Amino acid sequence: MCSHYQAIKERERYFRKFGVHPPAHDYVEDMWPKYQGTFLRRPPEAGSGDEAVAVREAQVGRWGLVPWATTDAVKQFKLSTFNARSETAARSFTFGPAWRRGQHCIIPADAIYEPDWRSGRHMPTRIARADGEPLGLAGLWDRWESPTGPLLSYTMLTINADDHVFMCRFHRPDEEKRMVVVLRPQDYGAWLTAPPGSAMDFMRQCPPAVLVSEVR
């Protein structure tokens, strides 16, 4: 899982790597759950199929998905919804509607942070691409009509990493190892337009050689 990441603050870098400018808002580079961050999605009004592959937009939303059917906002806002297990997302009350509607998104990041416990104590570790390029993380988004207006939100999808020689280093020794889904840049368009039945095809481990880590 991932509960901390570094957002891309440079607008031109964001545009060069993801093809759209980020929305104008007060950026928080050091991102934690419930903060407002940016994500990329296919506009809801866009068509489907090949003609929609290149259509994408950047939006501001809450990191921690709030499902459209939420009725108890106080309870929902207390839940940890910043990560979604891809294996069970389709059956989840929180993530299921977005998964079944194919509301895929990409979360741009310069790095993620995970705890390395191999020394016996928590060592915050920065994980980034070895080539210096930003990460495009697979996620889901949703829209909730709150009493004060619409709220967009998003979550990062995760997969098992017990056998991943790089990501198995992180989290407590007695915990299942999980990792976010790092999309290949050539798959960005396909992920945003993929039908729900094809979503699991993208839930693949990132090759270990793509990533580097640095204890912070």
Cα 130 to Cα 119: distance, rounded to the nearest angstrom: 24
Which token pair is 144? 């909730």
Closest CA to 55 of 20, 96, 25, 16: 20
Cα 94 to Cα 8: distance, rounded to the nearest angstrom: 27
Looking at residue 77, its pLDDT comes to: 67
Looking at residue 51, its pLDDT comes to: 47
Is the Cβ–Cβ distance between 6 and 108 less than 8 Å?
Answer: no
Residues in contact with 37: Cβ distance below 8 Å, sequence separation at least 6, in sequence order: 7, 28, 31, 60, 61, 63, 107, 154
Looking at residue 50, its pLDDT comes to: 47
How many domains would you assign to the chain?
Answer: 1
Looking at residue 43, its pLDDT comes to: 92
Give the helix ranges, DSSP H, for 103-195: 188-193
Over residues 66-104, the pLDDT tens digits come to 998 887 665 666 678 999 999 999 999 999 999 999 999
SS3 assignment, position 98: helix
CA 170 to chain centre: 18
CB atoms within 10 A of CB 29: 12
Residue 175 CB-density burial (10 A; 0-12 exposed, 13-18 middle, 19+ buried):
exposed
Structural domain harbouring 174: 5-215
Question: What is the pTM assigned to this prediction?
Answer: 0.92
Q: What is the CATH number of the domain that holds 99?
A: 3.90.1680.10
Name the DSSP letter for residue 182: B
Per-residue pLDDT of the chain (216 residues; tens, 9 = 90+): 799 999 998 999 999 999 999 998 777 899 999 999 999 999 987 755 544 456 899 999 999 999 988 876 656 666 789 999 999 999 999 999 999 999 999 999 999 999 887 777 788 899 999 999 999 999 999 999 888 889 999 999 999 999 999 998 887 778 899 999 999 999 999 999 999 999 999 999 999 999 999 987
CB burial readout 45-56, b (16+ within 10 A) else e: ebeeeeeeeebb
